[in-house]
Amino acid sequence: MSLATEKQNMSTDKTSAAAGPLISVEGMKKYFPIRKGIFSRHVGDVKAVDGLSFEVGHKETLSLVGESGCGKTTAGRTLLRLLEPTAGKAIYRPDGREIELFKLSGKKMKLARRDLQMIFQDPYSSLNPRKTAGNIVGEALRVHGIAKGAELEDRVEQLLVRVGLRSDSFNRFAHEFSGGQRQRIGIARALALEPRFIVCDEAVSALDVSIQAQVINLLKDLQDELKLSYLFIAHDLSVVRYLSSRIAVMYLGRIVEVGTSQEVFQNPRHPYTQALLSAVPRPDPKRKMQHIPLTGDVPSPMNPPPGCHFAPRCPVAEKHCHESYPETKQLSPTQAAACHLL
């Protein structure tokens, strides 16, 4: 059976003529229980992701940005069920079908993962240095029984060339490559099963700036050519500008602002987005933004502050900000933010 046919048959129990975004996430939560004492009593939760809702369209890039510890990596992993969700719903819509990812059995989720791949942050620790590039990229083809022998070698060589590596890279060990080249191997590995959706988890954060630009260009070219959708996770807003269709800003497990790349960069409405953007260097010296310092660290998701979670660090917080969490307000057809002052 061809890979395409198997993908068609992936879900037989829930199909419909579904239109809409490729991925829709509603109220996704991922809590890590805290247990204490000899009876492992449940005494609380680390609320890493606390009710996230977002959509990623066909051939679209949604960037999820925020400081370290805001829950964005946990969100990406939970969506692909590398971590089991605590609550919520994630719908995947390939070819007019509708698949509820969080309800799939292990076997069906394994099939779904052919379409839903991940590129990891650290190209040094995410690739086994004792394996060759050919083994790493070909592993998924072997595990899923899609290709073997000469056919597998051919496909892997094509993938290595497609991501900008030499075809004779097949037999070289991962430790022989530079950081940028290793990340290209990680991208080839993610592409091996012809996915439609890729979570890029800080995929360029560990690379030098010049290499970052090359890898971002490669991801953009691959998106155009293979009609891919990306959830691009990053802590650095300047990195996501070129690649993103839309940007969602996360703070302490929740989205505080979402909008098109242009809206978020030119007219950020949430004080946290404004503070993040004020630290981004601007190419046009006439369009200077007043620097808004972010003091203190992101509070612990184990014990989030009452009211608006950003209130202890917000430069314009008012009394009621400390009392109730703000509702998300729609500011344009594509921009929304959660702040009492809007």
Residues that bind ligand SF4 (CB under 6 A): 271, 308, 310-311, 314, 316-318, 321, 326, 339-341
- For the chain, the straight-line distance linking the first and the last C-alpha, in angstroms and rounded, comes to 55
- 83 or 341: CB nearest ligand SF4: 341
Could you tell me the smallest distance in angstroms from the CB atom of residue 272 to ligand SF4?
6
Measure the CA–CA gap between 146 and 143, rounded to whole angstroms: 8
Could you tell me the smallest distance in angstroms from the CB atom of residue 245 to ligand SF4?
25
Measure the CA–CA gap between 340 and 255, rounded to whole angstroms: 15
Could you tell me the smallest distance in angstroms from the CB atom of residue 299 to ligand SF4?
12
The DSSP code for 124 is T
Q: b/e map of 203-220 (b: 16 or more CB within 10 Å)?
A: bbebbeeebbebbbebbe
Could you tell me the smallest distance in angstroms from the CB atom of residue 324 to ligand SF4?
9
Could you tell me the smallest distance in angstroms from the CB atom of residue 226 to ligand SF4?
39
Measure the CA–CA gap between 329 and 327, rounded to whole angstroms: 6
Measure the CA–CA gap between 6 and 70, rounded to whole angstroms: 37
Could you tell me the smallest distance in angstroms from the CB atom of residue 126 to ligand SF4?
35
Could you give the angle at which helices 149-162 and 133-143 cross, rounded to 10 degrees?
120
Amino acid letter for position 221: D
- 207 or 317: CB nearest ligand SF4: 317
- 92 or 310: CB nearest ligand SF4: 310
- 197 or 272: CB nearest ligand SF4: 272
Bridge partners (DSSP) listed for residue 32: 46
- 247 or 249: CB nearest ligand SF4: 249
Measure the CA–CA gap between 47 and 253, rounded to whole angstroms: 7
- 156 or 264: CB nearest ligand SF4: 264
**CB count, 10 Å around CB of 307?**
18
Could you tell me the smallest distance in angstroms from the CB atom of residue 312 to ligand SF4?
8
> What tokens appear for 327 in the block?
């509702």
Residue 66 Ramachandran class (φ > 0 left, ψ -120 to 50 alpha, else beta): left
- 110 or 320: CB nearest ligand SF4: 320
